[in-house]
Structure 1
Amino acid sequence: MFQIGDHVVYPMHGAGIIKAIEEKEIAGERKQYFVIKMSINNMDVMIPADKISSTNIRPVTDLTALKQIIHIFQHGESEQLLPWKERYKMNADKMKTGHIQEGAEVVRDLMRIKKEKALNPSEKKMLDDAREFLNSELGLIEGITENHIKSFS
């Protein structure tokens, strides 16, 4: 279970810090809630403690795993031959997992396509969202350097 001060990633919302564990009464029912301060939009999210495992919240990636992700980001293969609608669905599914590697692959693949041709508005927004999601986690990784962050540019 998570503790106050833990750095976590909430799929589709980005990274944040657990700032409190509070007990609240909502609709006549008392429950314990994790309060997470999200990096994106500087908002607070409250998640019932009994639902935390079903939300796929995970700890922020560590520096060792990040180095492997950087390698995949820079040298991994892209699936660029798919029609854009199939590619969009595949990328949306990757983003829903909340895994940093999946998000990095979305950024990598869309950036590669963008170098060759203009992205349609849906994919442009997905690229922006994926970058924001990735950056929210990168900002909370212990020991990260500016060079690590530049690896995703």
Structure 2
Amino acid sequence: MAAAPAKTRPVAESQPKPVEKTIAPAPAAPSLATPGAPIARAPAPAVARPAAPVKAKPVAAGPKPGFKLNEFIVYPAHGVGQITGVEIQEVAGFSLELFVVSFIKDKMILKVPTSKVVNVGMRKLAEAAIVDKALQTLSGRARVKRTMWSRRAQEYEAKINSGDLVTIAEVVRDLYRSDTQPEQSYSERQLYEAALDRMAREIAAVRKLIDSESLKLIESFLLKGPRRGPKADGDVGDDSGDEADVDRAA
């Protein structure tokens, strides 16, 4: 009897494995995997958080290079102020050390980076010798340039904001008018009062006077100056760059 032919088992075809593709950074795109295969889930996007506010941290009281807590100083654009504290502010990951300067009369607080005090012209109060020189400057002969008033006004304003006590005294001297002289114009008066206020505050702080006493001291030196004629200011409008000595009328 002939042997039965061997039966050949059909070989199962190998199924291709599903291919997973991750497309970054677009997790929401539809998956290209074969149906039925597990789907790789992309991690949930991070939730944006609001930036933390800038915080000012008070620093323990202690001497700082050149300046001390509660010390009176002069800031050129504002005059005499007092250091009331030192703070650290965190800005963009960096720590910034600041002097907190209070201008009580102006009801203003100014924060000055400790690394910028030299650049902005912040300084200590004038020494006694500088105060004496400034007072003596008041008794000198007024020097008025024979230029247009608008140009002189700019120069006076620059001198006031220089922060130099002797230079400010020059403005007070040049714009001072006695009772027998013609009245100042509005702009002259504004500049004179600004210079007088800056000078009086610093002298009061140095000599430990009240403002009224400082003003009387300044006036006493102004009255010692040479006389100024009533027509000395008739040079307005002359564009020559010369300076004129102006006498004060008694």
**What is the match of residue 190 of structure 2?**
125
Question: Quick one: structure 1 residues 91 and 49, their matched pair in 2 at CA, closer, same or farther if it must change by over 3 Å?
Answer: same
**Structure 1 residues 119-145: Cα deviation after superposition (integer angstroms, max 9, x where no partner):** 332222111221222222122114559
Moved more, 110-119 or 32-41: 110-119
Correspondence 1:3-152 to 2 at 5 A: 3-26=68-91, 29-79=94-144, 81-112=146-177, 116-142=181-207, 149-152=215-218
**Structure 1 residues 60-113: Cα deviation after superposition (integer angstroms, max 9, x where no partner):** 112222112111111243225333112212111211211111111111111138
- Match of 1:79, SS state, is strand
Greater RCO (Cα-Cα under 8 Å, separation 6 or more): 1
Q: Which amino acid aligns with 1:22?
A: E
Q: Which amino acid aligns with 1:58?
A: R
Whose helix fraction is larger, Structure 1's or Structure 2's?
1
CA distance in 2 between partners of 1:16 and 1:35 (Å): 10
Q: Pairwise CA RMSD of aligned residues?
A: 2.5
Question: Quick one: structure 1 residues 19 and 84, their matched pair in 2 at CA, closer, same or farther if it must change by over 3 Å?
Answer: same
Unaligned runs of 5+ in 1: none
CA distance in 2 between partners of 1:30 and 1:13 (Å): 26
CA deviation after TM superposition for structure 1 residue 26, in Å: 4.1
Q: Which amino acid aligns with 1:53?
A: V
- Is contact 1:23–1:33 with CA below 8 Å preserved after alignment? yes
CA distance in 2 between partners of 1:78 and 1:113 (Å): 16
Q: Larger Cα Rg: Structure 1 or Structure 2?
A: 2
- Match of 1:119, SS state, is coil
- Match of 1:116, SS state, is coil
Q: Which amino acid aligns with 2:134?
A: I
Question: Quick one: structure 1 residues 125 and 143, their matched pair in 2 at CA, closer, same or farther if it must change by over 3 Å?
Answer: closer
- Match of 1:137, SS state, is helix
Of 46, 67, 72 in structure 2, the residue corresponding to residue 2 of structure 1 is 67
Misfit runs of 4+, over 6 Å: none
Question: Quick one: structure 1 residues 114 and 92, their matched pair in 2 at CA, closer, same or farther if it must change by over 3 Å?
Answer: farther
CA distance in 1 between partners of 2:207 and 2:183 (Å): 35
CA distance in 2 between partners of 1:16 and 1:99 (Å): 15
- Is contact 1:23–1:30 with CA below 8 Å preserved after alignment? yes
Question: Quick one: structure 1 residues 33 and 81, their matched pair in 2 at CA, closer, same or farther if it must change by over 3 Å?
Answer: same
TM-score (norm 1): 0.84
- For these two proteins, the number of residue pairs brought into alignment is 153
CA distance in 2 between partners of 1:123 and 1:97 (Å): 18
